[in-house]
Chain A
Amino acid sequence: GDSVTQMEGPVTLSEEAFLTINCTYTATGYPSLFWYVQYPGEGLQLLLKATKADDKGSNKGFEATYRKETTSFHLEKGSVQVSDSAVYFCAAYSGGSNYKLTFGKGTLLTVNP
């Protein structure tokens, strides 16, 4: 089955620092790829997505590019804010007739002022 591996956390950064959270996947075929974010006390929210190779998903200053050759979907942001503190999950979505989402373990990001 599909699997997703993302970098271990926690990650602690100062405000305005550059963020990278690595994510690689193993899947049959070419899955759609997603980043979800979970703010403290809240549910999972879709942050961005990419559905085919070389697509770039972006939202709220975050970006990730679907790299088929390296089976990666790394999350980046040029200047993080305190409000970005959350847990970030990389996920792969595939399955033929019954799509399902497979998650990585999550990366806790803490941004200090």
Chain B
Amino acid sequence: EAGVAQSPRYKIIEKRQSVAFWCNPISGHATLYWYQQILGQGPKLLIQFQNNGVVDDSQLPKDRFSAERLKGVDSTLKIQPAKLEDSAVYLCASTPGGTANSPLHFGNGTRLTVT
């Protein structure tokens, strides 16, 4: 099966600019996650979707970050305006969802550098 696809692979922007990341999960996976991985740290959950509905966005900085999952398939994560501390790898993951036996499948991530 095809894996989780993310683009772009790398992005460099200046602070106060905006940026968007795209994710295409594994076909049929109902649950989609966006994680932020800052260098030297473990991934931190930003937002979780079940189909096209948000089930957890408690750690999403909503003043600058937004995400959507149209039609319950692809998802985009946007940052506007970006800050220096947003430099990180943004990981998308998907799972069929709903049980403890369905591990997450991760994409290769988008590495964002804010200068």
Contact = CB atoms under 8 A, between A and B. Distances in A.
The judgment on whether A and B are partners is yes
B13 interface: no
Chain A interface size range: 20 to 34
A31 B100 contact: yes
Interface string B7-28: 0000000000000000000000
- B interface, over-half SS: loop
Contacts, number: 64
A49 B45 contact: no
A104 to B, nearest CB: 5
Contacts of A51: 100-101
A100 B45 contact: yes
Interface string B98-113: 1111111111110000
B40 interface: yes
A34 B108 CA distance: 19
A41 B43 CA distance: 15
Given A102-B45, A106-B41, A106-B42, 7 more contacts: A43-B106, A43-B107, A43-B109, A89-B42, A93-B100, A101-B33, A101-B93
Interface of A: 4, 31-32, 34, 36, 42-46, 49, 51, 89, 91, 93-94, 97-106
Interface of B: 4, 31, 33, 40-45, 48, 50, 55-56, 91, 93, 95, 97-109
